[in-house]
């Protein structure tokens, strides 16, 4: 149980702040029908437009007098956070931005068969009393976000914590919901959503991967 943190994230029936209920944004991304193991559902221009729109949503929703801080979850959430911060510059100036490695805070850490690679977190100094926005690429069960909340409590006590995700794929196991969401993607059983970012993958995009077909393709080679 998380006590005293992020009431907006933990509230179950809350429409994301700053996301207008337009048909374009509320419509679910249709499922692809081709037989390829990997299908691109958002190309680079569409993905970057979503990221830039998230920056505008945050700028519109967060009071100008608030000390805004962005913290992206590694890996790829921090890349998205940096892009969002760039979009915020003309709207409210430079925004402190950091990254968070939640490996040691995973609730299944003790059950992992092998020791995972642990990175380092880089959180802006003194987040106490800030308006902090956690940024991630894909929101699924909510367990990654819970780990992020637990780790952030070691760095200070933010006045407000919100959640911004590029893709919400549903399937929550915890009562955690985004305040800002780029797109809801319906994911069929056995599939995964994969986000590509420029600094790690060479380009931006969102793919739907059929894991069964992917294993069959790899096995066939």
CA-nearest of 42, 47, 20, 21 to 30 is 42
Q: Tens-digit pLDDT profile for the chain (221 aa)?
A: 333 444 445 543 444 444 443 334 444 555 454 556 899 999 999 999 999 999 999 999 999 999 999 999 998 999 999 999 999 999 999 999 999 999 888 876 555 545 556 678 999 998 999 999 999 999 999 999 999 999 999 999 999 999 999 999 999 999 999 999 999 999 988 899 999 999 999 999 999 998 777 676 666 55
Q: Structural domain boundaries of the chain? A: 43-187
- Residue 106, pLDDT score: 80
Residues in the chain: 221
CA-nearest of 113, 133, 115 to 124 is 133
Q: What is the CA radius of gyration of the chain?
A: 17
Class of domain 43-187: alpha beta
- Predicted TM-score of the model (pTM): 0.80
Distance (Å, whole) CA 182 – CA 219: 35
């Amino acid at each position: 149980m998380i006590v005293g943190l992020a009431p907006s994230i933990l509230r179950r029936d809350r429409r994301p702040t700053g996301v207008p209920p337009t048909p374009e944004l509320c419509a679910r991304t249709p499922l692809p029908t081709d037989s390829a193991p990997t299908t691109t559902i958002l190309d680079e221009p569409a993905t970057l437009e979503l990221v830039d729109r998230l920056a505008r949503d945050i700028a519109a929703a967060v009071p100008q007098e608030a000390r805004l801080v962005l913290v992206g979850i590694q890996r790829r959430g921090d890349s998205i956070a940096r892009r969002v911060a760039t979009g915020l510059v003309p709207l409210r100036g430079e925004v402190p931005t950091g990254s968070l490695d939640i490996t040691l805070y995973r609730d299944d850490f003790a059950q992992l068969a092998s020791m995972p690679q642990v990175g380092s977190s880089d959180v802006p100094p003194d987040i106490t009393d800030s308006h902090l926005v956690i940024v991630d690429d894909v929101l699924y069960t909510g367990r990654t976000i819970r780990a992020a909340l637990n780790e952030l409590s070691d760095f200070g006590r933010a006045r407000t914590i919100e959640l911004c995700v590029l893709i919400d794929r549903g399937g929550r196991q915890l009562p955690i919901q985004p305040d800002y969401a780029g797109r809801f993607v319906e994911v069929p059983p056995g599939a995964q959503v994969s986000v590509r970012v420029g600094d790690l993958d060479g380009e931006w995009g969102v793919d739907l991967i059929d894991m069964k077909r992917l294993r069959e393709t790899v096995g066939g080679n």
